[in-house]
A and B are shown apart, each in its own frame.
Chain A
């Protein structure tokens, strides 16, 4: 009658299955929502005086009234020469915000000695708009083929927005570079459950709307094409206050539709907890026996004890509790019952 009766060693060969990989996808926005619709696009006024020249954070709820409002994604405008923002080369004032954003993105996702993005049909552009997903929202990566963003513009009638998706469903061998996989941004919709491309990037004058980097959570839009399609007055004058990011936000807000999904790979270990019929049939629970004599509180438990499993603890050799799992309901255990519980531990 040893205390070892409280612990049972795992048969590492048969009871433990390590490193099981599973791909999990879920809605990307706060609370697991997969779509941001009208009334779900907010910025914070305080940002305009600090980082607003560089980027706008977009919230699902108003940060002015909701203290738990979370940033969903950020919008920014980048220009090779810094146009559309204050400051010029050699000037003492102005931080050339759009040049900084452009250089930052180019450095991050393009090969060395490249100064601008190249879109389908080898089209290049000196400036872009970028949608950057908050890391906490996308966790590991955006799910290619499962996002759709609508943009409104001054040339668009209400309800006639530009609908953007990626072309991953028609790309069997995506290009992969410094920025990971990259797909073209094209017009189309995923509303039917699968990607329906309206105009392929190669058929689009100007080579598609942009590029999508799922592993980085970046959607880079060619500002020339966006401007030509939606006419939201991109300001590419040098040394001017950046209104482009604000206009881009207005376009996204006016589109009122951003559906997206995230994807992550989880590594799990499964522990098969086996309680044989002769094991774990008594309890240290103070309601199981009387403190004065040790008698069962239920006389019927003599020679036929019944206990309930509610909790499984995983221990190391030093009896340190490393992980704990709870059952959803108590499970009866007795000499006539065995229990097999699969405990899944995600890393």
Chain B
């Protein structure tokens, strides 16, 4: 009769750059209040239902893989979080965005209205968090407010520089307004949309082309 292994898994944590910064400020700002779990590095396509040893070994390839050490860059950690959903969930919520990318001519009128939908679930109550990563390229304006308005979430991984230059709004729809710049001839950034109820996330590219004097300017609008 062997001994059952009832030990707790113990792991050492490292501070992220943000954690170190808050700790160094010394204003009691380093307050851990919650946790999240992630499965970065795992590829579920390695789940092998044809394993000859049976069900206990379907995940053998994943379970035996060594993992990389943690990195202090908060933008590179916990990219794919584990989430709690009802057991009967048959499909994961995904965002349906009509356009795969947005392209504007500088000074492009009223910009474009982005109106996402959620498949397999709904974000109709709390709406979406729209986050543009570089406000030098485009800014956001709420199109239609969400019935249960919430503060913007920052669940995506942004670098410190991106946080400084980013803008987020909450609503059912949002208008993307291209910005004016002198150089270079084209600027690109990302628009990340997160369902506030489902956590479903999608990112599209926003490109703004500089208007060359003498050429007709045009911009997408809806």
B-binding residues in A (CB < 8 A): 1-3, 5-10, 12, 16, 269, 271-273, 275, 278-289, 291-298, 300, 302-303, 305-333, 335, 339-347
Where chain B touches its partner, the secondary structure class is: loop
Tell me whether B212 is interfacial, beta carbon within 8 Å: no
Q: Which residues of chain B are within 8 angstroms of A2 by Cβ–Cβ distance?
A: 126, 196-197
Are A303 and B87 closer than 8 Å at their CB atoms? yes
Contact A325 B14 (CB under 8 A): yes
Of the listed residues A272, A306, A307, the one surrounded by the most CB atoms of chain B closer than 10 A to its CB is A307
Q: How many residues of B contact A (CB 8 A)?
A: 77
Q: Does B161 contact A (CB under 8 A)?
A: no
A307 near B74 with CB under 8 A, answer: no
- The answer to whether A3 and B85 have CB atoms under 8 Å apart is no
18 other A-B residue contacts (CB within 8 Å) besides A307-B82, A314-B13, A328-B11: A1-B121, A2-B197, A3-B153, A3-B198, A5-B83, A10-B33, A273-B37, A284-B201, A285-B39, A287-B42, A288-B92, A289-B92, A296-B91, A315-B35, A322-B16, A324-B72, A342-B8, A345-B13
User: Which residue from B72, B86, B91, B121 sits with its C-beta under 8 Å from A293?
Assistant: B91
- Are A310 and B153 CB-contacts (below 8 A) given A3-B198, A294-B119, A329-B64? no
B9 touches A327 (CB 8 A): yes
Q: Considering the complex, which residues of chain B in the window 123-176 have a beta carbon less than 8 Å from any beta carbon of chain A?
A: 126, 153-155
Residues of B within 8 A of A (CB): 8-16, 18-19, 22-23, 29-45, 47, 49, 58-59, 62-72, 74, 77-78, 80-94, 119-121, 126, 153-155, 194-199, 201
In the complex the two chains form, what is the Cα distance from A213 to B166 in whole Å? 54
B34 neighbours in A (Cβ, 8 Å): 7-10, 314-317
Chain B residues lying within 8 Å of A284, measured Cβ to Cβ, are 80-83, 92, 199, 201
CB distance from A127 to the nearest CB of B (A): 44
Contact A312 B11 (CB under 8 A): yes
Contacts A287-B45, A297-B45, A330-B63; is A323 near B16 (CB within 8 Å)? Answer: yes
Q: Give which listed residue, A16, A278, A311, A339, contacts B32 with CB less than 8 A.
A: A16
User: What's the nearest-Cβ distance from chain A to residue B63, in Å?
Assistant: 6
Q: B70 to A3, Cβ gap below 8 A?
A: no
Q: Which of B16, B19, B37, B39 has the most chain A CB atoms closer than 10 A to its own CB?
A: B37
Is the pair B36, A306 in contact by a Cβ cutoff of 8 Å?
Answer: no
**Cα(A294)–Cα(B90), bound, Å:** 8
Contact yes or no, B31 A316, CB < 8 A: yes
- Bound CA span A269–B35, Å: 14
